[in-house]
Structure formats: structure tokens, C-alpha cells
Amino acid sequence: KINLKIDNIAVSINGGSTILEAARKINIRIPTLCYHEDLCVAGNCRVCVVEQAGSDRLLPACAMPVSEGMEIHTNSMKVRNARKQIVELLVSEHRADCTRCYKNGKCELQELASEYIVGENGFIDLVAHKGYTIDNFSPSIIKDDSKCIRCQRCVRTCDQLQSISALTVAHKGEHMKISSFFEKPMFEVVCTNCGQCVNRCPTGALTEKTYLDEVWSSLNSERKHVVVQTAPAVRIALGEALGMPAGEIVTGKMVSALRRLGFSSVLDTDFTADLTIIEEGNELLHRLKKVVKDKDDSVKLPMTTSCSPGWVKFIEHAFPEYLPNVSTAKSPQQMFGALAKTFYANKIGVEPENMVSVSIMPCTAKKYEADRPEMRSSGYKDVDYVLTTRELALMIKQAGIDFASLPDDEFDSIMGESSGAAVIFGATGGVMEAALRTAYEVVTGREVPFENLEITPVRGMESIREANIKIENVLPEWDFLEGVELKTCVAHGLSNAKKIMEAVRDGKAEYHFIEIMACPGGCLGGGGQPIPTSPAIRKKRSEAIYAEDRHKPIRKSHENPEVMHLYEEFLKEPLGHVSHKLLHTHYTE
């Protein structure tokens, strides 16, 4: 342990910790901008400077390790003056038309500018003297260079967490900027639209593309029947953007709010998450049969999940030779969209052209997914508009709804029922766990013992997790699986996905089934979730997801009565003709 004093308060902390970590331990707040808990330290913005007794130098608290006997002052005149100058300089390089900015009120630079009373200052307005670009070609992300303070959180996110490097640093000195390959629009480079950069950008330089106006105008159109679906991970994070603590489950209030906003049918992506398990689980069993029993080498294993659109885009770019390994099952969002404008529209007597399908997602890549040409199997755009959790919170605020005092409501029926297995889709490992709960029962004909329902080896925040499951005592039709050890793997964050795929490619890992989610923590840490999304917040959201599963009366996808009804009445059988038309697709390089 290292002992030091910060603002005359004694603190003891492990060696190797930084001054910032020591200060946080004793609840002293040091402002930061380039620092982010998920990323390696850059120490380039200097907003976190502190003074060390006996030294003339100011030290960056985020980058400076503690040492024995150190005496640090975080609030001396010298520190305050330096910070104020740094913030003034950053503001002078930033197009500070805050009232017209999407991040107004949620911008970290704006908060510091207000804290340090940065009004008129001695620096010239550099933005006014520079050209800048606003790239809004992507269906998911807007990049506005005039708002960028070059902290490089986005660059480190894209490189370290996601292994993409769609965003890089270009030029030097005052010309330095955050750029893309050959300064092309984000839409034309390898960006997966995951939005992790958006979630970490301290200003309005990277924001989601919003479709709020389009959704409001649909809601105000008398001719339109507006159907909304809500992703598993929205219900455990939406409250954060509306003043509630992290980890609060707000499913019922969210449903109430959506009704008050005027959505005609309030339905659940969790319903199609259950459906995905049936379709994708059957696809896995079908592939196992072809490979293990029929020795058909045209069928590929390991099979990977396909519900995370950032992951699908990643594999298209980085490992196109493995596209046949991606499950053909569409994501729950897109299965929902395809069913909404066919099965559901028919059920409620609405012409599909008069239906508007909106989804509320924790994810910016879902906006891109909905725009993909493959996603029009109803004959229309299956999902018209995708809003993030943050955008829904904004709608609720705009409508003047006091969210905390809303009563708990239930989803509408037909496509609103779901199991606990569907809810856990929102956490890394959840799709795998949900699939295993169902596969066990299908293959053995026996119920999963209650004490084994929670498959803990695939849970948690470890970046890559494996679980090998010996298949025993199977039903006669699955005899080729008797004694097979099913090898599964779960990874979250695209840098971990890359490691897994390299291991598979190099013959260093043999799996049957791999779950990959593009975002750290899975969808609960999605790019469209409330900001901030820190490791501690992801943990709380994850606990909430598993609590929601525990409270559900049905915890296995194949026991969802509305899904069973859908098969009886419409789909007839898993992987059948209708499923192939509406619920499956193939991805291309």
C-alpha cells in the first residue's frame, strides 16, 4: 500500500494506482475529459491537473501514479487557474453553439465551462477560422468535427475495445483531427455502427442520428398504426436517463410511458428473442446433425449468433470467409419487424402500408440493421425507425411525463409475452444461456432441473468465457449427440470477438456454438444506452437483468405461450417455409 495525502486527507491505496484513483477513493472529484474508465490513459487533455507540494510542476492526475508520502492539492489557486485556461482553450477550439447542440445539457465540456465560468476569454475563436465537416451519411452516427476537442476517447474506443480503428488521428499540431480512412464518410469505412464512440464522446462531436421527428409525426398521423417494440436491455437502463439510479427495473413504467406517448400497440422485442431461441436453437441442432451424423462438410460449425448487428458487420469486413458460420436467424428486432407487418397486421386488421414499426434499442447499430436491404421481407421496411434508449428518454421528457410516478403497465398481447430467457439476451452470455435452457429440454426430453436453470459459467463480465457441456441420455431421435461434449464460447466487445475468430481460424479453438455481442457487457452496455456507461453501471444493469429473469413466471423460451401460438397458427414449424421467408437471411461480404 502507498500512503499519501490529498487536500490534507490521508489515503492509502495499492501501488500503481493513479492520483485520480486515490482521490476518488476519498470522494474528491477531479474533473476529467480524455479519461474514461474503460480505456487506457491518454493524459492529453490536462483538465485533471493537480499540484504536488514541493514541486513547480502540475501533474495529470489520471496518468500520474501515487508515491509514498506524496502531498497533493487538487484545488489550489494554481490548479484552478490552469484548469480554467485549459477549458477556455478547449472552448475556443469548439463550436460552442450549445443551445443548438444535441448534447446541450449533457456535454462534459459545457459542464466544465460552466463550472469554471468560461465566458469571454483571451483565446481567439479557432473554429470560426477553420473549415469543418459534419458527416451525417451514416444511418446511425453523426460526426461533427466542429464539436471535437481531440480527447481521443473515440479513437481509443474504436481501437482498443473494438479493434476496428475506423476512427484515427490525422495530421499534427493545430491541424490534428479525428478522422477516418482517407477522411471518407463513416458510412464508407469499416465502422460497425456500434456507437461505443458515441457513448464515450464527452461533447456533441459524435452523436446518434435521431429519428425523433419522424416518430412524432407518425404518432400524430391519424392514418398510421404505430407499433413499438422494446429491447431487453432498455428496461433496465431507461430509468438512468430519467433521474433514477442504475440497475432500476422500469419495465412497467416504460410500457405506461409508451402508451401515453401514443403508440398504438406496445409490444416486446423479448417475444421475438424467445422466437429467436427456437429458430436459432433448431438451426444449431440441424447443423450438428449434418456435421456429426451425416458428415456433411458443406455445413459449417461453429455456428455464431447473429443478433448483434455490429458483430455481423464486423465479420462481414474482418472474417468474410466465416459468414456461412453465422446463424441465418435474423435478430429479434428484425424478426419482430417482419412479423409486425404480416402476422400481427393481419391479426389486428391493419394494412401493412398503414403500419409504422418503431423499435427502442440500446444500440445505434440497430438503426443500420433496420436499413439493410435484407430487412424487407414483409414487402415493406420491416422496422421503420429505431430509437435508442436515450432518444426514448428524450421523448418522455418532451411529453412532460413524470416517469417516476407512472404506474406499471403490461405489454399488449399477441407479441408482448416473454420469458426470463428472453430478458437475459440483454447481458453478455444471455443468448447462450437461453439457448442452452431450451436445447437441453429438446434433446433430452427432460426438464432442466431448477437449480441448473442459471448457467453461471456463461455469466459475468470476463471478456471471453467457455462452457463445455456433456450431452447425455438423449431422446432416440438425437442419439448421434449422445456423449458429445458441446463446446460453447461467449465473447463481448469486438476486440474479444477478433481474438475468438483468429483462434478458430488458426485451429486453436474448437467450438460448436459461439455467442458474440459487439458491445462490452452485451446490449446492456450498448452504444445507445444512457451516458455514462461505466463498468460499475454495467454491473448494476446486469444484476437487474438477472433479477428480472428470476421474477418471470416463465423462464424458458419454448414455454412462451404466445410463441407456441404463433407456430400453431402461422409459422407451423421451426425452420419451416414461413420462417425461412420472414425470419432468416444470409449476410454478404
Among 207, 328, 333, 488, binds ligand HC1 (CB under 6 A): 333
Q: Near ligand HC1 by CB under 6 A, which window of 197-205, 444-452, 516-524, 573-581?
A: 516-524
Among 308, 357, 496, 533, binds ligand HC1 (CB under 6 A): 308
Catalytic residue among 143, 366, 367, 556: 366
Nearest-approach distance from CB 504 to ligand HC1, in angstroms:
22
Question: What is the total count of residues that contact ligand HC1 (CB under 6 A)?
Answer: 20
Closer to ligand HC1 by Cβ: residue 31 or 362: 362
Among 62, 273, 301, 571, binds ligand HC1 (CB under 6 A): 273
Residues sharing a CB contact under 8 Å with residue 455, sequence separation 6 or more, in sequence order: 432, 433, 436, 437, 467
Active site residue 539: no
Dihedral angle sign, alpha carbons of residues 46, 51, 56, 59: negative
The reply to whether 523 sits near ligand HC1 by the rule CB under 6 A is: yes
Nearest-approach distance from CB 295 to ligand HC1, in angstroms:
32
Query: CA–CA distance from 217 to each of 212, 223, 262, 280 (Å)?
Result: 9, 11, 11, 36
Strands 225-230 and 355-361: parallel
The reply to whether 361 sits near ligand HC1 by the rule CB under 6 A is: yes
Give the number of residues written for the chain.
589
Contact 418, 230 (CB under 8 A): no
Nearest-approach distance from CB 544 to ligand HC1, in angstroms:
12
Sheet with 2-6: strands ordered across: 9-13, 2-6, 71-73, 49-52, 58-60
Q: Near ligand HC1 by CB under 6 A, which window of 38-46, 228-236, 395-403, 481-489?
A: 228-236
Whole-angstrom distance, CA of residue 172 vs CA of residue 506: 38
Closer to ligand HC1 by Cβ: residue 148 or 435: 435
Torsion angles phi and psi, residue 175, rounded to 5: -90, -5
Torsion angles phi and psi, residue 464, rounded to 5: -135, 130
Residue nearest to ligand HC1 (CB): 523
- CA-nearest of 315, 335, 309, 304 to 138 is 309
Active site residue 573: no
Q: 169-182 burial string, b = 16+ CB within 10 Å, else e? A: eeeeeeeebbbbee
Residues sharing a CB contact under 8 Å with residue 400, sequence separation 6 or more, in sequence order: none
Nearest-approach distance from CB 206 to ligand HC1, in angstroms:
18
Catalytic residue among 108, 208, 369, 391: 369
- CA-nearest of 74, 72, 70, 73 to 31 is 74
Closer to ligand HC1 by Cβ: residue 311 or 403: 311
The reply to whether 411 sits near ligand HC1 by the rule CB under 6 A is: no
Catalytic residue among 21, 88, 316, 374: 374
Closer to ligand HC1 by Cβ: residue 198 or 205: 198
Q: Near ligand HC1 by CB under 6 A, which window of 114-122, 241-249, 360-368, 473-481?
A: 360-368
The reply to whether 306 sits near ligand HC1 by the rule CB under 6 A is: no
Among 139, 302, 426, 520, binds ligand HC1 (CB under 6 A): 426
Active site residue 369: yes
The reply to whether 491 sits near ligand HC1 by the rule CB under 6 A is: no
Query: CA–CA distance from 377 to each of 156, 265, 330, 336, 570 (Å)?
Result: 38, 21, 11, 11, 15
Site for ligand HC1 in 107-166 (CB under 6 A): none
Active site residue 523: yes
Active site residue 177: no
Q: Near ligand HC1 by CB under 6 A, which window of 92-100, 163-171, 396-404, 520-528?
A: 520-528
Closer to ligand HC1 by Cβ: residue 412 or 515: 515
The reply to whether 267 sits near ligand HC1 by the rule CB under 6 A is: no
Which positions from 231 to 250 touch ligand HC1 by CB under 6 A, shown as an x/- string?
A: xxx-----------------
Q: Which three cell numbers stand for residue 474?
A: 438423449
Contact 364, 212 (CB under 8 A): no
Three-point CA angle 546, 550, 554, nearest 5°: 120
Helix axes 332-339, 269-288, angle to 10 degrees: 110
196 secondary structure, DSSP code:
H
The reply to whether 269 sits near ligand HC1 by the rule CB under 6 A is: yes
Active site residue 327: yes
User: Would residue 180 be called left, alpha or beta, if left means φ above 0 and alpha means ψ between -120 and 50 degrees?
Assistant: beta
Q: Near ligand HC1 by CB under 6 A, which window of 8-16, 242-250, 358-366, 495-503?
A: 358-366
Closer to ligand HC1 by Cβ: residue 35 or 425: 425
For cell 481501437, name the residue: 159
The reply to whether 387 sits near ligand HC1 by the rule CB under 6 A is: no
Q: Near ligand HC1 by CB under 6 A, which window of 56-64, 121-129, 176-184, 518-526?
A: 518-526
Dihedral angle sign, alpha carbons of residues 305, 537, 211, 179: negative
Among 202, 281, 332, 420, binds ligand HC1 (CB under 6 A): 332
The reply to whether 195 sits near ligand HC1 by the rule CB under 6 A is: no
Active site residue 191: no
Active site residue 363: no
Closer to ligand HC1 by Cβ: residue 453 or 517: 517
Whole-angstrom distance, CA of residue 297 vs CA of residue 300: 7
The reply to whether 425 sits near ligand HC1 by the rule CB under 6 A is: yes
Strands (E), 165-302: 168-170, 177-179, 206-208, 225-230, 265-268
Nearest-approach distance from CB 369 to ligand HC1, in angstroms:
8
The reply to whether 255 sits near ligand HC1 by the rule CB under 6 A is: no
Whole-angstrom distance, CA of residue 274 vs CA of residue 435: 9
Closer to ligand HC1 by Cβ: residue 166 or 523: 523
Residues sharing a CB contact under 8 Å with residue 166, sequence separation 6 or more, in sequence order: 158, 180, 181, 186, 189, 190, 191, 192
Among 42, 261, 363, 489, binds ligand HC1 (CB under 6 A): 363
Closer to ligand HC1 by Cβ: residue 101 or 458: 458
Q: What is the DSSP string of 282-341?
A: HHHHHHHIIIIIS--TTS-SSEE----HHHHHHHHHH-GGGGGGB-SBPPHHHHHHHHII
Three-point CA angle 103, 104, 105, nearest 5°: 105
Helix count and strand count (H, E) for the chain: 19, 18
Catalytic residue among 48, 154, 307, 519: 307
| Residues annotated as catalytic (active site), given as ranges | 280, 283, 307, 327, 366, 369, 374, 523
The binding site for ligand HC1 (CB under 6 A) comprises: 231-233, 269, 273, 307-308, 331-333, 361-363, 366, 425-426, 517, 522-523, 526
